Amino acid sequence: MENRREFFKSVAAFSVAGMAGVAPGFAAGDASSSSGNQTDDRSYWVSVLNQLSLPVLENLSRRELKKNMPVEAANPADRAKYTHLEAFGRLLAGIAPWLAAQNLSEQESKLQQKFVELSHASLDAATDPKSPDFMNFTRGGQPLVDAAFLAQGILRAPAVLWQSLDAHVQGQLVAALKSSRAIGTPTDSNWVMFAATVEAALHLMGESTIEDRLENSVQRMLGWYKGDGLYGDGKFFHFDYYNSFVIHPMLLDVLAVLKQKNNSFEATHATELQRARRYAAIQERLIAPDGTFPSVGRSTTYRFGAFHALAQIAAMRELSEDVKPAQVRSALTAVIRKMIQAPGTFDEHGWLRIGFYGHQPSLAEGYISTGSLYLCAVALLPLGLPPSDEFWSAPPARWTSQLIWSGEPVPADHAIHD
């Protein structure tokens, strides 16, 4: 009980620090509009990570997630079959790099350790067949999606989320991921990346993989490239954020494994990295001077998860030369503040509610439920960088749209050609 009290003291301290310096109003061209200073930005991001993570991991670690998590959806009875793995897998994909981050302040390190402990207990609860929170990895199509996000979290922090697990939890996790193979892989959409990501994690765990679900799935995705950093979602291009939600991040993570498995994939990984860098540069330009961005296409209720690709490229330190880390930090901070602080984003118990800006259930497709919404956590990937990294330590900077709409000189934008 005393340890839990200390945990919540740490949480409260970060929440207060993160909320400090929120500017009630500002000029569009003012870089400080989103960032009181660089220290406040990191504290604020950690407070958001806590706000998103605590309800999910506290309940799951106690094996009470199914008991306590609400299921908001067009058809709650149907989505209750899937929503809990959605919440856990998507959250872990976003917070994994922070769980493994090093050289943190003493206060942040203590908070991190508590979340590592909660994550370990949650992995046990989610994969133990005897647990009341044992999750569905096999029934219906949706579990393949979220087994993949869970696998992606493990790929992003293997030392913390795989190597340091107890042997019995490792065995449960392998069995759970393998069981998702019972779900066939659609070959005409971004779903090919879900099977590939699960297989990549299994390879990391020392398990044999299935070529059609790993190498062949990646080749299918690569075959849908349309140009200038953009892939089709299958044969056709979709004007939505799935190049960011799924395609670039999973291609990068899976190809990083494949090039270790087979060095013939090194050139492919380099090509994909070039494409992802271009797409991230486009994403940075989509963030308006006030921190808004277009709500376009499917799954807009994933909120700032739309910037998964930009966050990943920033976390990899692979931004294009004309996109500086501080401007990405400042832009993403503006987006996250605006969306997190919108009235109605959370219910009275701290769970996310369906919406893009606040509570807007009309925006939800039939596959959206409470658990789906936790994909927003993937925008927090740069928290895996230490506080001393330029992303966090450089002074606040205006992002591209702020510069342009202030009349400042900005380099012309150009497409890339493979």
Per residue in 99-151, pLDDT tens? 999 999 999 999 999 999 999 999 999 999 999 999 999 999 999 999 999 99
Q: 35 pLDDT exceeds 50? A: no
Cα-based torsion angle of the residue sequence 334, 337, 339, 341 in order, rounded to the nearest 10 degrees: -150
Cα-based torsion angle of the residue sequence 120, 123, 129, 131 in order, rounded to the nearest 10 degrees: 70
Q: 33 pLDDT exceeds 60? A: no
* For the chain, percent of residues with pLDDT exceeding 90: 89
Is the pTM higher than 0.75? The answer reads yes
DSSP secondary structure string for all residues of 285-353:
HHS-TTS-----SS-GGGGGGGGHHHHHHHHTT---TTS-HHHHHHHHHHHHHHHHTSTTSB-TTS-B-
Q: How many helices (H) and strands (E) does the chain have?
A: 18, 2
CB 339 within 8 A of CB 357: yes
Main-chain phi, psi angles of 73, to 5 degrees: -170, 165
Neighbours of 266 (CB within 10 A): 13
Q: What is the mean pLDDT of the chain?
A: 92
Who contacts 44 (Cβ-Cβ below 8 Å, separation ≥6)? Answer: 17, 18, 19, 22, 333, 336, 337
pLDDT value at residue 362 = 97
CB 107 within 8 A of CB 152: no
| Higher-pLDDT residue of 23, 84 | 84
Q: 1 pLDDT exceeds 60? A: no
Dump pLDDT digits (tens) for 227-264. 999 999 999 999 999 999 999 999 999 999 999 999 99
* For the chain, percent of residues with pLDDT exceeding 70: 91
User: Confidence class of residue 22 from pLDDT cuts 50, 70 and 90?
Assistant: very low
Dump pLDDT digits (tens) for 152-203. 999 999 999 999 999 999 999 999 999 999 999 888 899 999 999 999 999 9
Q: Distance between CA 289 and CA 331 in Å, rounded?
A: 8
List the one residue out of 176, 257, 163, 268 whose CA is nearest residue 225.
268
User: Confidence class of residue 28 from pLDDT cuts 50, 70 and 90?
Assistant: very low
Q: Residue 359 to residues 15, 281, 295, 339, 352: CA-CA distances in angstroms?
A: 22, 30, 15, 10, 9
CB 158 within 8 A of CB 204: yes
Q: Distance between CA 33 and CA 36 in Å, rounded?
A: 7
User: What integer is the mean pLDDT of 345-364?
Assistant: 98
Q: Distance between CA 115 and CA 118 in Å, rounded?
A: 5
Which H or E element spans position 213? none
Which residues on neighbouring strands pair with residue 369, listed in sequence order?
73
Q: 34 pLDDT exceeds 50? A: no
User: Confidence class of residue 37 from pLDDT cuts 50, 70 and 90?
Assistant: low
User: Confidence class of residue 32 from pLDDT cuts 50, 70 and 90?
Assistant: very low
Dmax over CA atoms of the chain, in Å, equals: 62
Q: 340 pLDDT exceeds 90? A: yes
Task: Name the least confident of 32-36, 209-213, 320-324, 400-404.
Answer: 32-36
Q: Distance between CA 385 and CA 98 in Å, rounded?
A: 8
pLDDT value at residue 20 = 43
- Going from the N-terminus, what domains does the chain have, and what CATH number goes with each? 53-404 (1.50.10)
What is the separation of C-alpha 345 from the centre of its chain, rounded to a whole number of angstroms?
18
